[in-house]
Structure 1
């Protein structure tokens, strides 16, 4: 189980309030690195947890780098066998949700050689003990479906440090469980600057923009997840959504009320409808009242299908032109590669290895 120091979380939350004010005042001072592993289609948990926030930051004027972390799924044979398909589906979800390739650089990890060259000097700055005690790595190893854990999994935090620092991102939207990864990135940046900076800071120490998004449960009452089969994907049809919501777990009480502790499954459905309607869960619960679970599920189905309708329409339209998806990725790869090459040149100069 992942454990994060509560004081670290509190500090990130306090800093986040300050950052939000600065973003609205001067969005151009920020560069964000964010992204996903291409392990399947994105779902409502992703949308309300991270994807919608990326679109918000982009529209505020923050410079966005969105990485498709394909190297980080090489440990999963089921995914790696259709990596191209998963990557294209991810691009499709991004575009449908509102990421604009003219304003957000969408790129694949494996397509940026200079980025990957940065990982070696960064690895030299981190001890094996530090990698071993990273709680996120421990959790991923514990939940790995592989009979043996590859060395690649231990390097995930340093992979992420390279992802963030190659473009000198100074802001990274994360969930609470990712704070240890970002702290290691800050450590790598600080150690590189101290060892090779000669009085200057080549790399920023990026801030965490801690997500305030509520946890959206899946149809089985646990965290919505690609691998659990309990997720409503952005690509799901209206009929498929209705079927999934109809089969969602509730409880035996007829009166519908929002009580996340005592009634987590009902409360998650209320939250989902509320997010889609821009209302509070309590307001949705008051409307349903004593009409029972069937009425609640109809409310949720209508809310989700209404909210996702324009996203699904855009997804269907973009999906007709796979060549366009590949062009978006190719142009994003070119932009990211130019940035990474420039950073790598600075690193080589700093390390006196420019021959």
Structure 2
């Protein structure tokens, strides 16, 4: 597992930037114990105890975390006290089926945030390799537990899959129907708010399909700090809603695009899939690396890395809506500000057409 500089500096149990698979159980256990003590304070299960805080949060980051310790905050997510295990994306299966229909050929190098989404992504896109991206260490802990179960064949059918899910150690669940605790009672609804049967089938399918993967990696990092490995095929990056302003600033979004651009060759393409939270509204954005601009020495710009260039076009985009005080409000992402496509088609229309064509076959 690759660790970002930020995570390494912020969390006391994390002492280096890379952990082997064999080292991950000890890391996750030390993080779990330290985080549980901190989360008990955050969720008012016990009073403030500086020693409990110091076991998790480095002193240089204390004010940053403690100043943003309120319900649903980003730093509570980082600390493992507000975890989005429950898939909030409505029918992401359709996102990946649309991508498969639009780009049927060529190797796909898959990157995904979230818990269930990476498994669905590989099942549908037949990824060459699969890269788990998340800023929340507990999501990676859940992936590690699932990987251990896949390796021992726990997902043979529906009943064995349900039993395996029940054995997961998941704590401090965001938007849980029960009060957040260090370890929840887990069932399929903990992973998928909707389409639970399809989620179960995808876990069974992934156990078989994972053998096709040439590599699996974990990146404990924000999107803009993630490692994108150079490949000859097309990177496909599933973002869910992680580029919203709450999670990603404009500067960080720019850094994400720069990192992806640097991982591909001139003329090569990368596909980004965005999914609005709590809806089935999606957008697909294609980035093409172009010739970099010539360095302008008169402005003191001489570093070639400052001149990576790309073009972004919108393959399709639905109208995004965000709930705010009970009202659905439309919004745009950072992509809309840089895309060369001014009137993209609706993804929903493309999905309906694909479903209609499949029904006739």
TM-score (norm 1): 0.30
Larger RCO, structures 1/2 (Cα 8 Å, 6+ apart): 1
Greater percentage in strand: 2
TM-score (norm 2): 0.30
